[in-house]
Amino acid sequence: KGCKLVGCGSAVPKLSISNDDLAQIVETSDEWISTRTGIHNRRILSGDETITGLAIEASKGALQMAQVEPDDVDLILMCTSTPEDIFGSGPQISRGLGCKNNILGLDIRAACSGFLLGLLTASGFIRALGFQNVLVVGADALSKYVDWTDRGTCILFGDAAGALLVQACDVEEDALLGYDVHSDGDGYRHLNSCIKYNEKEETILNSNGAASFPPRLASYSCIQMNGQEVFRFAVRCVPQSLETSLERAALTSASVDWLLLHQANQRIIDAVATRLEIPREKVISNLANYGNTSAASIPLALDEAVRCGKVKAGDIIGMAGFGAGLTWGSAIARW
């Protein structure tokens, strides 16, 4: 079996926050943010918008493009680090799409590499387990976990969802040509949002009034990041990974029609393109409008590039995700 990419979709929140808006709440400027990151605006969930709602909207777009009915999907992979339900929200997407056949929906949690790893997981389900239509959704709302007084992180992130339908096909049509994936648990200290235990522990009393046990209730800390270390990690590991994927696909960077990286920082994207000698006109970037949308960034940028006619059938795309974990990986795919 092979797998092909047959439809994509995306959705973003209504509320747009500009660099000037952020300069009203932290000591920063449009000039600093745009030159250091390439970001001008980001969208943030507001009102009754939810990340699951955006994921459902993005999924509908992908199914429509692929002309596949919800009941013909047999697996939904929700790639997110910010689900509205700690137990996962994959099943909620299936419900929101109106799938009537109790198909499996499950979550994959791998920060900004989530979508890329979801795509490879989809290919595994198709190739090894005989699944037919797998919907891979990348959706994140990091705005919920940002310290809005920390100018080093709050300027970077935005909320969004993107989706891609991956379909089984004959091996000759296989569109996933090469891949490479890694993680480095030691590097987690450079970027994380870790569990923290509430300081005041309330002791549960047993029936005769004696102290029984102190439950440790927990929440998550805001995103902690050493930006320079993450920057260095991305610029070092992403080109290496893409080179490995290209080699496995028996291709060189000259065959890449589009470079589509996780949208974290324009300087990272430019550095990777330079290392691989991929010219700027082949680089897909919409970071300026949406900021770093974590697992959503690759399918969101892909969807825009496909819908505006930039990416055409048969084009070779070099994709790479990288982020917290640390995790990173790449894939060479044909649209």
Residues annotated as catalytic (active site), given as ranges: 112, 262, 292
CA distance 94 to 101: 9
Nearest-approach distance from CB 35 to ligand ACO, in angstroms: 9
Asked if 80 touches ligand ACO (CB under 6 A), the answer is no
What HEC string does 251-302 produce? CCHHHCCEEEECCCCHHHHHHHHHHCCCCHHHECCCHHHHCECHHHHHHHHH
Asked if 2 touches ligand ACO (CB under 6 A), the answer is no
Nearest-approach distance from CB 273 to ligand ACO, in angstroms: 16
- Judged by CB, which is closer to ligand ACO: 25, or 218? 25
CA distance 313 to 175: 11
CA distance 191 to 178: 28
Restricting to residues 141-200, name those near ligand ACO by CB under 6 A: 151-152, 155, 191
Residue 57 tokens read as 């909207």
Restricting to residues 274-293, name those near ligand ACO by CB under 6 A: 292
Query: Contacting ligand ACO (CB under 6 A), which of 294, 299, 328, 330?
Result: 294
- Judged by CB, which is closer to ligand ACO: 34, or 253? 34
Query: Contacting ligand ACO (CB under 6 A), which of 82, 121, 167, 265?
Result: 265
Query: Contacting ligand ACO (CB under 6 A), which of 10, 37, 133, 167?
Result: 37
Query: Contacting ligand ACO (CB under 6 A), which of 28, 133, 241, 330?
Result: 28
| Nearest alpha-carbon partner for 5 in 312, 284, 244 | 312
Beta carbons of 111 and 184 less than 8 angstroms apart: no
Residue 9 tokens read as 């979709």
Rg (CA), the chain: 20
- Judged by CB, which is closer to ligand ACO: 4, or 262? 262
What HEC string does 35-79 produce? HHHCCCEEEECCCCCCHHHHHHHHHHHHHHHHCCCHHHCCEEEEE
Asked if 324 touches ligand ACO (CB under 6 A), the answer is yes
Binding positions for ligand ACO, rule: CB under 6 A: 28, 32-33, 36-37, 111-112, 151-152, 155, 191, 225, 227-228, 230-231, 264-265, 292, 294, 323-324
